Amino acid sequence: MTAFPRFADLAFPTPTEAGLAAAARAILAHIAAGEVEAALAEWDRQRRDYESWASLVHLHFSQDTASAEAKAAREYADALAPIATEHEVAVKRALLALPDRVALERLAGRHAVLLWETDITTFDPAIKAELEEEAKLGARYTELLASAKLEIGGQVVNLSGLAPFAEDPDRELRYRAEALRWGFFAEHGAALDEIYDQLVALRHGMAVKLGYRDYIPLGYRRMRRTDYKPADVARYREEVLRHVTPLVGRLLEQRRQRLGWDRLRFWDEALIDPAGNPQPIGGHDELVAAAQAMFDRMDPRLAAFYRNMEAGGFLDMKNRPGKAGGGFCTSFPSVGTPFIFANFNGTHHDIGVFTHEMGHAFQNWESRGLPGIDYLWPTMESAEIHSMSLEFLTLPQIGLLVGEAAAERFRRMHLEASLAFLPYGVCVDHFQHEVYANPGALPAERQEMWRRLEKRYMPWTDYGDLAWPEKGGRWQAKPHIYRSPFYYIDYTLALCCALQFWVKSRQDQRAALADYVALCGRGGSAPFQALVASAGLISPFQPGALEAVVREAEAVLAG
């Protein structure tokens, strides 16, 4: 077995337009000569190299958005991406045109072939310029948000750095944090509207060029969703509205009464535990060390993987100026190792983000031996099962990260936050369906759309005098809406599955972990509902699946 690599040693050759074209020609020549196995092997190697390089370039930019060098490299990669896609689609088309489909499925995997069939309907050379423009607009959004310099509590922080203040037990401080956040969005509201307006027009235009009536079917295909449709998602949103919205409303009302507030305002929602949200035992270094003890207790595979990730430098979780916001996991498929990016801010979110991204990373690592690059990551709703389930599966050992005295309170908080997330998550999804069904809507009409849906799924929301979200601007703080259209319902579907793992782990932690590790090893080798069934879980699209886990959660919270 080769040693786990070191991040600092990673370097991947920079591809060129001519190089990509030559590689594609060679692969197409193999296919034309009937050498399908050789073509697949060569293509897989080439895609891994390209992906590894692109991941590293984008990661370097996220690590330092102010670096001119990193920015230039990212712009080069963004310009090359549609060209790489064009070659990739040409190879997929050539493979799919082969007369012997059974032989192709035997060599490449049945699900991979299904994915390629979906992929070839999402691209045409005619939309190359739009794809490049889409990437640029997305990057402009990221840069704009990363530029925030907000003064609070005697410090200057970015938007991620506001989080500790936004959930401080001091109500006045929480209000000030939200006032600063939404002041920033109001100040840049016109620019943010302009970016989104262009993105919607661009995406609608691409869809029309490809022969779709609007962006929705194209959006689903770009997410590689092969086993459910917008109508299934719409039914799921209704389930959330029926079973979760009233429960979250009751939980918030209990909190309001316990704290003796006349009204529960928007800035009160983040204070989930009336005694103050449990905090991590310490900063970055303490958490990183305590996490090793936690994984050591849980599972030897998780423990060994985490030790290697840490020693190899594959974790960047400290918040610093100029670093892009948020958290994500990326990977370098040529070497098989993932990378975790986050912005620790001293709150319980650090634990949530860390265990979440570790779930993604562990899945990717466990899947590294699967036959083709298409299987290394599943589609996103399946991928979020791995991440969100690890958030729940670490709960029994969470005392190591928050202190034993606060462990039970942390578990309750996580459960309550998860339930409250569901209505918000489906609202983000519903909003995007309306946006892309009405591509000609004006920015002000989009704000109205959001506000109307928000009142439906989260009727408790009370913004007080926070003018920007009151007008319907809250969605602009959600990067997925800008950068990854329709990638959001995924979290809510996965949460329904993660809650099932949670229920299972309360009965038998060892068995739940075994099922979890096995699911991680299956990576993206099957579509969502097949993966769910393979882990002994019930599909969220099945009537009653959501209701059952929500009832269990409610019972635990009432106890």
Q: Which residues bind Zn ion (CB under 5 A)?
A: 384, 387
Given a contact cutoff of 8 angstroms between Cβ atoms, the answer to whether 324 and 349 are in contact is: no
The backbone region for 180, taken as left when phi is positive above 0, alpha when psi lies in -120 to 50, beta otherwise, is alpha
Q: Rounded to whole angstroms, what are the CA distances from 113 to 93, 289, 416, 470?
A: 11, 43, 40, 47
Given a contact cutoff of 8 angstroms between Cβ atoms, the answer to whether 371 and 43 are in contact is: no
Residues 6+ positions from 142 with CB-CB distance below 8 Å? 62, 65, 324, 325, 479, 483
CA dihedral over 508, 514, 517, 518, signed as positive or negative = negative
- Which residue, 245 or 387, has its beta carbon nearer to Zn ion? 387
Tell me the closest approach of the beta carbon of residue 345 to Zn ion, in angstroms.
18
- Which residue, 78 or 384, has its beta carbon nearer to Zn ion? 384
Tell me the closest approach of the beta carbon of residue 148 to Zn ion, in angstroms.
23
- Which residue, 357 or 515, has its beta carbon nearer to Zn ion? 357
- Which residue, 385 or 458, has its beta carbon nearer to Zn ion? 385
Tell me the closest approach of the beta carbon of residue 178 to Zn ion, in angstroms.
25
DSSP H/E element including 150: strand 150-152
Tell me the closest approach of the beta carbon of residue 52 to Zn ion, in angstroms.
20
Tell me the closest approach of the beta carbon of residue 328 to Zn ion, in angstroms.
7
Tell me the closest approach of the beta carbon of residue 200 to Zn ion, in angstroms.
24
Query: How many C-beta atoms lie closer than 10 Å to residue 556's C-beta?
Result: 14
Query: How many C-beta atoms lie closer than 10 Å to residue 444's C-beta?
Result: 11
- Which residue, 73 or 309, has its beta carbon nearer to Zn ion? 309
- Which residue, 107 or 385, has its beta carbon nearer to Zn ion? 385
Given a contact cutoff of 8 angstroms between Cβ atoms, the answer to whether 191 and 144 are in contact is: yes
Residue type, 58: H
Tell me the closest approach of the beta carbon of residue 59 to Zn ion, in angstroms.
16
Tell me the closest approach of the beta carbon of residue 554 to Zn ion, in angstroms.
25
Q: Smallest Cα–Cα separation from 527: which of 108, 219, 223, 121?
A: 223
- Which residue, 88 or 384, has its beta carbon nearer to Zn ion? 384
- Which residue, 23 or 353, has its beta carbon nearer to Zn ion? 353
Q: Give me the residue whose beta carbon is nearest to Zn ion.
A: 387
- Tokens at 323, concatenated: 């670093």
Residue with tokens 């049945």: 110
Give, to the nearest 10 degrees, the angle between helix 36-63 and helix 68-96.
160
Tell me the closest approach of the beta carbon of residue 295 to Zn ion, in angstroms.
18
Q: Smallest Cα–Cα separation from 494: which of 546, 439, 436?
A: 546
- Which residue, 314 or 460, has its beta carbon nearer to Zn ion? 314
The backbone region for 178, taken as left when phi is positive above 0, alpha when psi lies in -120 to 50, beta otherwise, is alpha
Q: Which residues of 220-254 are buried (b: 16+ CB within 10 A; e: fewer)?
A: bbbbbbbbbebebbeebbebbbebbbebbeebbee
Q: Smallest Cα–Cα separation from 351: which of 267, 281, 448, 435?
A: 281
- Which residue, 82 or 425, has its beta carbon nearer to Zn ion? 425
Tell me the closest approach of the beta carbon of residue 151 to Zn ion, in angstroms.
31
